[in-house]
Amino acid sequence: MAEYKDYYKILGVSKTASDADIKKAFKTMARKYHPDMHPEAEKAKWTEKFKDLNEAYTVLSDKQKRTIYDQVGEQGYQDYARGGGASSRARSSAGGNPYQQYQQYSYGGNTGGFSGFGGAGGAQAFGGGDFSDFFQSIFGGMGGGGFSGFGKNFGRSAASGQAEGDVEAELTLNLEDAHRGGNMQMTLPNGRTVTVKLPAGVSEGKKIKLKGMGNPTSRGNGDLYLVVKIRPHAMYRLEGEDLYVPVTLMPWTAALGGTIYVPTLDGPVKVKVPAGTHSGKKLKLSGKGLSAKGSLYVTLTIDVPRTLTKEQKDLFTKLAALG
């Protein structure tokens, strides 16, 4: 079994942290440790760090995942790893085996369910990165994305105007997955594996039709419509097909102008900053939004160093005298 991961420690929060505290901690640390914010030579190190942050947030920001994680606990997990299953303490607090309880949650319980994403897509495609063996040992193949529960008659009735037997189900994606698109595999409740083709830049509310995958009727099966939902992102704010991202500048770059690296969903790009830039100025990068039709709006803020060298202090003193 994999080594136990303390998600609270990874995010730097207490076990009693509120949802708001967890979200705030993740945003702060994600901006600090995002690979695109570091030199190319150091990306591999920060990529692993960021994966841990993403995984911790995936669990602690979800009420049911967090409950199961807390119920299992480190000791319960160690007992399970040694072959004894979850500890009696964990079983008692969960009202049963927490692993089984989570399986009912993730796969729909008595209402049916699906076996998660498989094949090359898997958790990486829908979960924003490779989830660790520890995560998989507790939460299985659900990853960080997925559908609402499916049953024998799964999903919810489709919108009016659609045929009998048509149903809708929510497909939750990370921003990077929605931007990239591609072929993803999923397994339906009847055990059939199908390929879902996601268009690059698929937007919130978009419906993806799977013909003949709906509920049975006297005339055959209806269609299944997957309604896309995109998770909030730690770095970017999404509005339609446009993205917004904050980037900090050093005072001398703002005053003199220069070149900075701006993180985009396709990797960092060089952007020229004009001399005399003020805090709050926005730069528009066309074609760098969720889709090629969207734009990335960069909001610039000036960051004053918390500590200065003697030489820097002398220079700022001279500037103050000139001003």
pLDDT one digit per residue (tens) for the chain, 323 residues: 678 899 999 999 999 999 999 989 988 888 777 776 667 777 777 778 888 888 898 889 888 788 878 878 888 777 666 654 433 333 333 333 344 333 333 322 222 222 222 222 223 223 334 578 788 777 654 434 444 434 444 555 655 556 778 888 888 888 988 999 988 777 665 766 778 889 999 999 999 998 888 888 888 888 888 889 898 887 899 999 999 999 988 888 999 999 998 989 988 899 999 999 999 999 999 999 999 999 999 999 988 777 888 888 888 888 888 86
Smallest CA-to-CA distance from 214 within 206, 222, 204 is with 222
Alpha helices in 181-295 (DSSP H): 251-256
Long-range contacts made by residues 14-23, C-beta under 8 angstroms, separation at least 24? Answer: 15/70, 17/60, 19/61, 22/57, 22/60, 22/61, 23/61
Q: Which residues are CB-neighbours of 319 under 8 A, at least 6 positions away?
A: none
Using only C-alpha atoms, the chain has a radius of gyration, in whole angstroms, of: 24
Structure tokens of 169?
A: 């189900």
Q: Which residues are CB-neighbours of 302 under 8 A, at least 6 positions away?
A: 248, 249, 250, 251, 254, 278, 279
Q: Which residues are CB-neighbours of 16 under 8 A, at least 6 positions away?
A: none
CATH architecture of 109-231: Sandwich (2.60)
Do 258 and 273 meet the contact criterion of CB atoms below 8 Å apart? yes
Alpha helices in 214-275 (DSSP H): 251-256
Assess whether the region 109-231 and the region 237-317 belong to the same CATH fold. yes
Domain residue extents for the chain: 109-231, 237-317
Do 116 and 102 meet the contact criterion of CB atoms below 8 Å apart? no
Residues 138, 133: Cα–Cα separation, whole Å: 9
Residue linked to tokens 């399970």: 80
Helix axes 63-79, 43-60, angle to 10 degrees: 110
User: pTM for the complete prediction?
Assistant: 0.54
Residues 277, 258: Cα–Cα separation, whole Å: 10
Instruction: Measure Cα distances from 165 to 160, 179, 209, 227 in Å.
Output: 12, 31, 13, 16
Q: Which CATH number fits domain 237-317: 3.40.50.2020, 2.60.260.20, 3.50.50.60, 1.10.3080.10?
A: 2.60.260.20
